[in-house]
């Protein structure tokens, strides 16, 4: 059971890294092809909120995985 939990940890971490790298590469390519005009304050605030939401979602995912790990490794 513990090995399957480690596998889930690995898959989640690998998946997050792959998605982050793919999005970063796509963003860099797009920015090179189409330079963006300066961003307004409203757009910056919206981006900040979006980043905060994704950060909290990632922390919740980590907390759930750690909670599952703790539940599966309770002393007998």
Is the whole-model pTM more than 0.75? no
Cα gap 61→12, rounded to integer Å:
9
1 and 76 Cβ atoms separated by less than 8 Å = no
65 and 12 Cβ atoms separated by less than 8 Å = yes
Taking only the tens place, the pLDDT of each residue in 42-76 is 999 999 999 999 999 989 988 988 888 888 877 76
5 and 68 Cβ atoms separated by less than 8 Å = yes
Domain boundaries of the chain, sorted by first residue: 2-72
Average pLDDT of the segment spanning 27-50: 92
Q: Write the burial class of residue 52 (CB in 10 Å: 0-12 exposed, 13-18 middle, 19+ buried).
A: exposed
């Amino acid at each position: 059971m513990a090995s399957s939990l480690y596998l889930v940890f690995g898959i989640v971490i690998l998946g997050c890294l792959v998605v982050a790298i793919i999005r970063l590469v796509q963003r860099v390519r797009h920015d090179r092809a189409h330079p963006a005009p300066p961003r307004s304050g409203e757009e910056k605030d919206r981006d900040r909120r979006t980043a905060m939401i994704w950060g909290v979602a990632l922390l919740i995912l980590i907390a759930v995985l750690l909670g599952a790990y703790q539940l599966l490794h309770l002393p007998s």
